[in-house]
């Protein structure tokens, strides 16, 4: 079971056409989640209409393996290699851990092995008609990356998405995208973001998702600013359904966030709201295709292939638990 401290669950939220999907593309590229040969624009937009119109309609989860360059000190020692400007931070953190040498003493190129994080990203729609998709995604996360076009500034759906994230008390990382465009007005838009979030100017990350400029800083900020998930691995299983669909060949497939406990392949599952029961025929994660795992553990985001016949038996917002856990609870 992966430590909760090495998991980060987050959404990318923004107004339509501000660069959410392009940022997701660069993240997957930089974390080697997808090879350059298989990489294509708007990779997570699987529907024909999405690719035709260039907009995201359906939420899309993906798990990325990220090797942090600085935040490893929080859990498993110093990270390698440190980047310019991170030495001071490492020294400060090392002062809190006297058994560790400071970065200045040992040199940033001799730091211990980095921490590998599971970054569970949910790419969300930006159009106002799909706000429900955004709210469902936010419920499965601890943080959100807010992308704002540096030329257009704060737009209507930007505000709506930010308010949804604030209602969930999520950590928000502000990102100005398209700063490389001639029309970009970074000072003006930065002021808008500061007024909206109450953040400091140096907390805003300036990027170009198209070229990859400073996207590495966004990945580091996700590790440093978004809290790890909470939950109890030994408690009765609870998993939140944040999306579901019917596959003609495999049956009902659930996208879930494991709140507590664990779900293994082949276990009997039960939906608390609908009362439906079935089997977890397969469990796993998306990277971005479906990759089978022996189990889904506390804090993780993944999928469950079930033998249910209709999505009405496993509605969005319902809680999945193990049938044996429910029977044990009733027995007591």
pLDDT in tens, 79-114: 333 444 455 555 555 555 555 444 444 444 434 446
Lookup result for tokens 């998709």: 133
Which neighbouring-strand residues pair with 148? 176
The closest of 39, 47, 43 to 20, measured between CA atoms, is 43
Long-range contacts, 305-308 (Cβ 8 Å, 24+): 305/250, 305/251, 305/253, 305/280, 305/281, 306/251, 306/252, 306/253, 306/254, 306/269, 306/278, 306/279, 306/280, 306/281, 307/251, 307/278, 307/279, 307/281, 308/251, 308/252, 308/276, 308/278
Helix (H, G, I), strand (E, B) or coil at 192: helix
Neighbour count for residue 126 (Cβ, 10 Å): 26
Q: Is the dihedral of CA 221, 303, 231, 80 positive or negative?
A: negative
pLDDT given for residue 53 in this prediction:
43
Distance between CA atoms of residues 60 and 24, nearest Å: 10
Q: Which residues contact 159 (CB under 8 A, 6 or more apart)?
A: 196
pLDDT in tens, 10-29: 999 988 888 888 899 899 99
Distance between CA atoms of residues 128 and 134, nearest Å: 10
297 pLDDT more than 90? yes
pLDDT given for residue 89 in this prediction:
52
* Single pTM value for the model: 0.81
pLDDT given for residue 270 in this prediction:
97
Token pair, residue 213, equals 């400029």
pLDDT given for residue 95 in this prediction:
55
pLDDT given for residue 130 in this prediction:
53
In this structure, of 54-58, 151-155, 205-209, the range with the lowest mean pLDDT score is: 54-58
Identify whether the C-beta of residue 176 lies closer than 8 Å to the C-beta of residue 14.
no
Can you say how many angstroms the Cα of residue 22 is from the centroid of all Cα atoms in its chain?
Answer: 15
Sorting pLDDT into bands at 50, 70 and 90, what band is 123?
confident
Extended strands (E) in 178-250? 205-206, 238-247
pLDDT given for residue 68 in this prediction:
84
pLDDT in tens, 316-332: 899 999 987 655 555 55
pLDDT given for residue 20 in this prediction:
87
pLDDT in tens, 30-88: 999 987 766 555 444 454 444 444 444 467 899 999 998 654 444 333 333 344 445 55
Domains of the chain, start order: 4-68+115-225 (3.40.50.300), 238-331 (2.40.30.10)
In this structure, of 7-16, 113-122, 307-316, the range with the lowest mean pLDDT score is: 113-122
Average pLDDT, the chain: 82
pLDDT given for residue 264 in this prediction:
97
Lookup result for tokens 């580091």: 220
Helix (H, G, I), strand (E, B) or coil at 302: strand
pLDDT in tens, 236-295: 999 999 989 899 999 999 999 999 999 999 999 999 999 999 999 999 999 988 999 999
């Amino acid at each position: 079971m992966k430590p909760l401290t090495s998991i980060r669950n987050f959404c990318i939220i923004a107004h339509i056409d501000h660069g959410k999907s392009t940022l997701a593309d660069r993240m997957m590229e930089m974390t080697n989640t997808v090879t350059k040969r298989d990489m294509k624009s708007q990779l997570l937009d699987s529907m024909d209409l999405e690719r035709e119109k260039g907009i995201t309609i359906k939420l899309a989860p993906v798990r990325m393996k990220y090797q942090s360059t600085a935040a490893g000190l929080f859990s498993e020692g110093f990270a390698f290699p440190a980047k310019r400007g991170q030495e001071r931070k490492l020294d400060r953190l090392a002062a809190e851990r006297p058994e560790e040498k400071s970065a200045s003493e040992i040199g940033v190129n001799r730091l211990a092995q980095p921490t590998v994080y599971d970054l569970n990203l949910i790419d969300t729609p930006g159009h106002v008609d799909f706000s429900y998709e955004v709210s469902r995604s936010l419920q499965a996360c601890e943080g959100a990356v807010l992308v704002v076009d540096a030329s257009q500034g704060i737009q209507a759906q930007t505000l709506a998405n930010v308010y949804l994230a604030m209602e969930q008390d999520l950590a928000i990382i502000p990102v100005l995208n398209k700063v490389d465009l001639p029309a970009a007005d970074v000072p003006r838009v930065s002021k808008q973001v500061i007024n909206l979030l109450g953040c400091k100017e140096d907390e805003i990350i300036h990027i170009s998702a198209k070229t990859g400029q400073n996207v590495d800083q966004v990945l580091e900020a996700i590790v440093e600013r978004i809290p790890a998930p909470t939950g109890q691995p030994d408690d009765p299983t609870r998993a939140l359904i944040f999306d579901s669909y019917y596959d003609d060949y495999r049956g009902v497939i659930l996208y879930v966030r494991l709140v507590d406990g664990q779900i293994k392949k082949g276990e009997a599952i039960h939906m608390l709201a609908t009362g439906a029961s079935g089997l977890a025929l397969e469990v796993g994660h998306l990277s971005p295709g479906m990759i089978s795992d022996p189990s889904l553990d506390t804090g993780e985001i993944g999928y469950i292939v079930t033998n249910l016949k209709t999505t009405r038996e496993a509605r969005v917002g319902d809680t999945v638990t193990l049938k044996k856990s429910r029977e044990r609870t009733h027995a007591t």
